[in-house]
Amino acid sequence: MPLTRFDELVTLAEEHDGLLTSEQARDAGFTDSVLSRLAQRGRIERTARGVYRIPYVPINRFSQYRETVLWAQAHRGPQMVALSHETALAVYDISDANPSAIHLTVPKSARLRRESPASVVVHHDDLSSEEINVIEGLPVTSIARMISDLLRSGGRLDLIRQAITDARREGYISAAETQRIRRAFKRHVDGLRAS
C-alpha cells in the first residue's frame, strides 16, 4: 500500500518523538495551510509556535526537551542551542535533580521572536561545539560546562557534587577531567566560605 502524504509527515515526525517544525514540514513539501488544516481536523497538534506533534506517537521522557529545542530553532531560530543547567543533569541522569523548568542556552546574539513558554528558562551565552554533547539526539551542554553554569547560577552544591561523582561513574568524564572539575568546585565552595 503506497504511503499517503500524511504518512510521510508522520515518518518525518517519528524521528523526533512525534514532533516536527513547520520549517521541516515545508522542506518536505507541506504548506502552512496544509498544516493548519491538519491541526483543525485534530490530525496534528500545535504545541508551540512553529512546532507540531502527531498525537498518537507515544511521548517519552525526552519529548518535552525535544519540543523545547525545536521551539527555539523554529522560524530560523538559532541552531547552536543546548539543554543546560538542571535540565542537563536530568538528561544525563547523573543526579537526583528534578527541574521545575527546562533550561536552554542560546547564543548571546540570538533574539527569539516569540515569548518563551512558562516552563522554559532561556540563558544567553555562546557555546563552543566542544561544550555541546548529543544525548538521545538532544544537544546538551558538556559535563564541565554544565557544572560551571550551575556553580555560576547558585545551583545546589549537593546536586553538583553528586553529578560529578555520577558523571565519572557513568564514564561521561575521564579521571583527569573529574579532578579538574572537582578543583573548580572546591575553589567555588572555598570562595563562598570566605565571603
| pLDDT, tens digit, 9 for 90 and up, residues 151-187 | 999 989 999 999 999 999 999 999 999 999 999 999 9
Strand partners, 133: 140
Task: Decide if 45 contacts 39 (C-beta within 8 A).
Answer: yes
Strand partners, 122: 104
Q: Indicate whether 117 pLDDT > 90.
A: no
At residue 75 the predicted structure's pLDDT band, cuts being 50, 70 and 90, is low
How far apart, in Å, are the Cα atoms of 172 and each of 16, 54, 77, 101, 180?
A: 24, 33, 29, 24, 14
- For 31-60, what is each residue's pLDDT tens digit? 888 888 999 998 999 988 888 999 988 888
Q: Indicate whether 82 pLDDT > 80.
A: yes
| Choice between 116 and 141, residue whose per-residue pLDDT is larger | 141
The single-letter code of the amino acid at 111 is: R
The single-letter code of the amino acid at 93 is: D
- SS3 label, residue 70: helix
At residue 1 the predicted structure's pLDDT band, cuts being 50, 70 and 90, is low
Task: Decide if 79 contacts 105 (C-beta within 8 A).
Answer: no
Task: Output the pLDDT for position 115.
Answer: 73
What is the rounded average pLDDT for all residues in the chain?
Answer: 89
Is pTM beyond 0.75? Reply is yes
